Amino acid sequence: MQKSNKVHILPEILANKIAAGEVVERPASVVKELIENAIDAGANAIQIYIAGGGKKLIQVVDNGCGIGENDLPIAFERHATSKIRSEKDLEAIHSLGFRGEALPSIASVAQVEIKTKEQSEKLGLVFTIDGGKKGALRKTAANRGTSISIRNLFFNTPARRKFLKSDNAENQQILIVLKRFFLAYPDIDFQLTLDDKQLFSLKKTDLKERLVEVFGAEQGENLIELDERVAGIEINGYLGKPQIARRSRSQQHLYLNGRPIMDRNISYAVYQGYGDTLDEGAHPVYCLFIEIDPAFVDVNIHPTKMQVRFSNDRTLFYLFLNGVKKTLNSHGVLADLSSVNQGSAIQKAVIENHEQSENEVKKEFELKKTKPSHFNLTKVKKGSGQISLAYFNHHESEQENVQASGQQSLLEEEKSDVRFWQVHKKYIFSEIKSGLVIIDQHLAHARILFEKTTKLLNDQRTSGGQKLLFPQKITLALDDFLVFKDIYQVLNQIGFTINVFSGNTIIIEEMPADVKIGRESQILLDMIDYYKNTSQTSFNLNEKIAAAYAFKNAIKTGDILNEVQMHNLVDQLFACEYPFYSPSGKPVIVSMELDELARRFK
Amino acid sequence: MKFSVSRDNFFKALQKVINVIPSKSTVDILYNVLITIKNNKLSIIATDLEITQISWTECEAMEEGDITVPGKLLLDIIRELPNVNISFSADSNHKILIKSDHGEYKLSGEDKTEFPSVPLVDSDQQVEIENGLLKTMIEKTIFACSTDHFRPALTGVLCQIMENEYRMVSTDGHRLVKVINKNFSGNGISRDLIIPTKALNFVARNLPDSGNQKIILSENHILFELPDTKIFSRIINEPYPDYDRVIPAEFSKELVIDRAEFISSVKRVSLFSNPITSQVKIVLSQNSMNISAQDIDFGGEANENVPCKYEFENIDIAYNANYLIDILRHIDEEKVKLTVNDADGPALIFPENNENADLNMVMLIMPVRIN
C-alpha cells in the first residue's frame, strides 16, 4: 500500500481564504481595512462608494501617497506591509494597519481593481486580482492617490456569502464603521455615496463641528468637553448630557491613539461616571480619545484590532470614572444638593453653618469643583477622625447591581466604624462592605502631596517655609547644579529658600514645613535626581517638581503608622481629586471582593 | 544558683531596669535580663547595647551564680504575686524553677556568656549635680531633641561641663533650648558630651528629688550612680553645631505676656491651621497680640486677641503652633518674655524673671516665612 502524506502545507490561495475569514467578516470590515490604508497613506480627502450593501461594490478613493510600480504586486502578498519592518516596531505601532493581512485576504475572496499613482510619477498603474489570481500590471492615466474597488465580495465562498445580511443591515454596519473614522479624523474630508446617493459630505473641521455633523445639530448643544491628563495618559473629547443618552451604545465612540476601539472596562467606567443621572437602560453618548504611550497597550490581540489590552486597565478605569464625574460636575450635571450633602466635612459645614440656599451651595460647589463631591468620605463626628469608606460601598455595590441604590449603603456605612491595619509597614488594609481594600501608604501619601503641591503652584501661591536654625550648605555636582538652576524658583514657591553661596555651593535656609527635620539636603538631592530621571515630556515643570517633592517627601514603605495616622492618611487621600492612582500612574488602592476571597478558599 | 527574696524587693529591682529592654531587636538575648547572686546581693542587668542599667536588692543566697531570664515574662509573673517570699533556682541546664506559696513556675534561661558585658567606666572624671536641678534640666531639654537619625548629634542633649556652670542644650534645627545651672562646680573638668535622650529619660525617672548625684565620665560612656541603680550610656561622639552663634545677643522688640493665656489661645487658634504645617500668625501691636490661623485647603479660619505688654512698632510673624506650645509648656512661670528682631529671625522666649532663678533658661524658635 502506498503511503500518503496526511500533513501538507496549504496552498497560499487557500491559506488566504481562511485568513480572510478572520479579517474580512463582512463588507463593513473591508471598508474599515481600506480606509485605514487610505489614512495610513496620508490622505486628507477620502471618497467612499458603496453599492448593494457593499456586496456589489466597495470603492475607496484617496489622495494619499499612492503605491509604486515595484510595490504594487507585492502588496497583495500575505504579510506584505509598509507599516512595520521589525519586531521592535510592533512595540510602538502608530499606524492603523500593520499586519499585512488585509489586502491579500480581501483579494482572495473578491474581484479587486486597484488604480494608483505616486505624486512623482506621470502615469498611474492599474492592477487587478480576481479571487486571488493576479492579473497584469498596466500603466494608465490616474489621479494622485489610490482608488481601490472591491466587487462581488465572497463570490467564491458561497457559504460565507449566504451569511451576509440584507443590504440595509450591511449598510448600517458600514455606517457604524465609517462614523468612527469621521469622528476620529475631523481633519480629513470624507464623502460617502451609498447606492448613488450622497449621504455625507464632510469638510475638514474641528471635532465639535464634526460631532454636530455626525450626531445631528440638536445634539451639538448638549455636548460637554472633557479634557483630562494624568501621568502620561491623556483623554479628551465630548460627553453628551444625560438628556441625549441613547437606548443603544451606538453613539459611544472611543479611540486609542486615533484607532477606534471597544473596551468594556472603559465604557463601564464612563457609565459609572454618569452615576444615577441616567434612566434605566440608557447609554450615554460620548466620543473620547485616549492618547497613551503605545508601549502600554497591546493592540495586536485580535485581527480586527477593535480590542486592545492595556497594561494598566485599573488606572484607566478610574481616570475615566473621575474624569467623567469631574466634567459633569463642573457643568452642573451632577452637582445636585444630594451630592453636596454627602460631600466632605467642609461642605457639610458650609451647609450647616451658613444655611445657604440650595442654589448658593451649588455655586459654592461650582467654585470648589476641584473638591471631591463624589468621594463620599464623611466625617461622622467632627474631630473624631472617624471616617467612613462610603465611597467604596457606593461604587462597589453599584458594580454588583447597577440598579441598586447606593444611597442605602451609604447611610448604613456612616454608622459603622472603619478600622485600619498596617501590613508589612507598607500597606493599609481596611474592610468594606463588599470585601477588602488595600492602600499603598507611600503612593497614597505621594498622591496627597502631589495634589497639594500642584494646586499651590497652579494657584501661584507661595507656601511658607520653616526657617532653619542651622542653614545647610551643600556643594552640588555641576549637572545637579544646572538642574537646580532650572527648578529653584519653583522650589522656592513650595516653601524652600535656597540661595547660591558661591560657585556650585548652595545654602538651604528654609524648608517646606512638612519636610522631616534633618532630611533637608537629602530631599533636595533626591528631587534633583527624580527631576533628571523623569522624561521631559511626561509632566510640565510644575507637575514634575510636585511629583519629585511628593515621592521624595512621602511616607516611606517601612514607616510605622498608628491608627490615627492611617485615618488621616485615608481621609486626606479621599479628599484628593484622583485618589486611585499615584502621580506616576500606579494604582494606590486595590480592592478585593468577598466573592474573590471565598473563591480562594475553595 | 539558688536564692530566696521577698516579692516586693524583687519586683522593685526588676521594674527599674525593665524599660531598657528594647521592644524590637535583632539580638534575642537583649530580651533577657541578667540575674547575678553574689554576697547575698541580687543584681539585675538589662541592656539595649546603648544603655545598660543595673539594679540590686538584698536576698538570701543559698548558692551563688548567674543566669539570664526573659525579662518581660519574669516581670509578669512577679507582678501578679502578693508580697510573699519567692524561691528562685536554676540548674546547670539553665532550667529555672520559681516557687512561691501559690505554686511553681518553670521556665528556660540562657547562659550568662551570651549576654553583653557591662561597659567599664573607670575614670576619675567625676562631677556632682543636685538631683532636683538635674531632673528639671532634663525635663526642659529633651522635648526639643530631634528624633531623626540622619543627624545623630541632635538626637541627644549636649551637656557642657564648665568651670563654674553646667549647661544642657537641645535642638532639632527648628527650635533650641539652653538651660544653664550656675550653682555648679566642675571640679576642674571642662568637657562637652552628647547624651542620648533615652538615657536621660531613664535617669530622670530614677532620680530622687533631693540630694546630689555622682556622674562619672569615661572616653565613650557616662555613668549615673543613682540610689539602688546605675545607668550606663554610650556618648554620642558627633560634632554638635555651634549653637551659641545662632542665638542673637540683642533684640529690638520685647513682649511680656501671660503664659497660660498665650498657650490656650495658640491651642485654640491652631485647631484651624493647616494640619500639616500648623502655621499660626502673630501680629504684635501696641499692648496687643493677635493670633490667627487659616487653612486654605479646607477653608477653616480663626483669630484671637490676647492682651500683653508691648511698646514697639507693629510686626507680623508666623510660627509652627506645635513648637510654640511645646516651648510654652516647658516654662513654669506665670509670665513669659518674648524677644525678636524681625519676622525672618529667631525669637527667644524665657520666663520673665530669668536672671534670679537657679536655672537660666532660653528657648529659641525659628519662624515660618509669611506668604
pLDDT attached to residue B158? 96
The type of residue at A233 is: I
User: Domain B2-114's class?
Assistant: alpha beta
pLDDT of residue A335: 39
Mark A116-142 as b/e (b = at least 16 C-beta within 10 Å).
bbbeeeeebbbbbbbbbeeeeeeeeeb
| Mean pLDDT, rounded, for A493-503 | 86
- The C-alpha atoms of residue B337 and residue A108 are separated, in whole angstroms, by 97
Beta strands in A269-315 (DSSP E): 286-291, 297-298, 309-310
Q: Would the pLDDT of B24 be above 90?
A: no
Q: Which three cell numbers stand for residue A440?
A: 499603598
Across chain A, how many H-helices and E-strands are there?
A: 22, 22
A contact test, residue of B172, B279, B297, B369 with most A CBs within 10 A: B369
- Residue A271, pLDDT > 70, answer yes
Of the listed ranges A49-63, A74-88, B285-299, the least confidently predicted one is: A74-88
DSSP secondary structure of A532-582:
HHS-TTTS-HHHHHHHHHHHHHSPPTT----HHHHHHHHHHHHTSS-TTB-
Nearest CB to A464: which of B175, B277, B346?
Answer: B277
DSSP H/E element including B37 = strand B32-38
Please name the residue that has the C-alpha cell 440608557: A282
CA angle B97, B99, B101 (to 5 degrees): 165
pLDDT for position B135: 92
In this predicted structure, what is the pLDDT of residue B371? 63
Options 3.10.150.10, 3.90.45.10, 1.10.10.350, 3.10.105.10; CATH for B128-167+183-241 is 3.10.150.10
Confidence of residue A164 (pLDDT cuts 50, 70, 90): confident
Phi and psi dihedrals of B141, rounded to 5? -105, -40
More confident position, B266 or A347? B266
Closest partner residue to A464 (CB to CB) among B146, B241, B371 is B371
Q: Out of B297, B299, B368, name the one closest to residue A466 (CB).
A: B368
Please name which of B87, B75, B98, B83 lies closest in space to residue B15, comparing C-alpha atoms: B75
- Give all strands of the β-sheet with A505-512 in edge-to-edge order: A465-475, A505-512, A497-502
Which of the four pLDDT bands, split at 50, 70 and 90, describes residue A80? low
Q: Mean of the pLDDT values across residues A366-389?
A: 32
Parallel, antiparallel, or unpaired: how do β-strands B253-258 and A45-51 relate? unpaired
Nearest CA in chain B to A496: B369
Q: Does A461 touch chain B (CB under 8 A)?
A: yes
- Is B151 near chain A, with CB under 8 Å? yes
Strands B125-130 and B156-161: unpaired
Q: A469 and B344: CB-CB below 8 Å?
A: no
Query: Which range has highest mean pLDDT (A66-70, A164-168, A273-277, B4-8)?
Result: B4-8
Split at pLDDT 50, 70, 90, the class of A87 is low
Residue B319 binned pLDDT confidence (cut-offs 50, 70, 90): very high
Residue B312 has pLDDT above 50, yes or no: yes
Over residues A238-244, mean pLDDT: 83
What pLDDT is stored for residue A21 in this prediction? 58
Q: What is the DSSP string of B113-141?
A: GGSPPPP----SEEEEEEHHHHHHHHHHH
A69-83, A294-308, A476-490, B84-98: which has the highest mean pLDDT? Answer: B84-98
Inter-helix orientation angle A207-215/A167-184, to 10°: 160
Task: Using CB atoms, pick whichever of A455, A513, A518 lies closest to residue B279.
Answer: A513
A460 touches chain B (CB under 8 A): no
Question: Rounded mean pLDDT of chain A?
Answer: 74
pLDDT band at B122 (very low <50, low <70, confident <90, very high): confident
Q: Which of B255, B315, B330 is nearest to B281 (CA)?
A: B315
Among A350, A513, A518, select the one facing B368 at the smallest CB separation. Answer: A513
| Contact across the interface for A510 and B299, Cβ inside 8 Å | no
Among A389-403, B170-184, B232-246, the range scoring the smallest mean pLDDT is A389-403
* CA B367 – CA B342 distance, rounded (Å): 10
- HSE-CB at B45 with a 13 A cutoff on CA atoms is 21
Three-state DSSP at B191 gives strand
**A467 vs B79: CA distance, rounded Å:** 49
Helix (H, G, I), strand (E, B) or coil at B274: coil
**What are residue A449's DSSP bridge partners?**
none
Cβ-contact B44, B59 below 8 angstroms: no
A591 has which bridge partners?
Answer: A437
Residues of B in contact with A513 (CB under 8 A): 276-279, 320, 368
Strand partners of residue A201: A191
pLDDT in tens, A10-58: 666 666 666 655 667 788 888 988 898 888 888 899 999 999 888 899 9
Residue B164 pLDDT level (bands cut at 50, 70, 90): confident
Position A265 confidence tier, pLDDT thresholds 50, 70, 90: confident
pLDDT at B118 over 90: no
Higher per-residue confidence, A325 vs B68: B68
Average pLDDT over residues B178-205: 90
- Domain covering A373-602 in this structure, CATH number: 3.30.1370.100
Least confident range of A209-223, A499-513, B187-201: A209-223
How far apart CA A26 and CA A163 sit, in angstroms, is 9
Interface check for A240 against chain B (CB to CB < 8 A): the answer is no
CATH of domain A207-369: 3.30.230.10
Same fold, B2-114 and B128-167+183-241: yes
Extents of the domains making up chain A = 12-202, 207-369, 373-602
Q: Using CB atoms, pick whichever of A455, A522, A575 lies closest to residue B150.
A: A522
Choice among A162-166, A187-191, A382-386, B175-179 with the minimum mean pLDDT: A382-386
B116 in contact with chain A, both atoms CB, cutoff 8 A:
no
Q: Given a cut of 80, is residue A201 above it in pLDDT?
A: yes
Q: A286-291 and A223-230: which strand pairing?
A: unpaired
Closest CA in chain A for residue B242:
A470
| CB distance A499 to A506 below 8 Å | yes
Mean of pLDDT values over B282-308: 90
In terms of CATH architecture, what is A12-202?
2-Layer Sandwich (3.30)
Q: Sketch the domain layout of chain B as residue ranges.
A: 2-114, 128-167+183-241, 247-365
CA distance B299 to A365: 13
pLDDT at A81: 64
Average pLDDT over residues B258-279: 90
Question: Is 70 exceeded by the pLDDT of residue A397?
Answer: no
Q: Do B299 and A346 touch (CB under 8 A)?
A: yes
CB A453 within 8 A of CB A494: yes
Using the Cβ of A469 and the Cβ atoms of chain B, whether some distance falls under 8 Å is answered with yes
CATH of B247-365, one of 1.20.140.10, 3.30.70.980, 3.40.800.10, 3.10.150.10: 3.10.150.10
Cβ neighbour number for residue A10 with a 10 Å cutoff:
10
Verify whether the Cβ–Cβ distance A470 to B173 is below 8 Å.
yes
In angstroms, rounded to a whole number, what is the distance separating the alpha carbons of residues B204 and B105?
A: 34
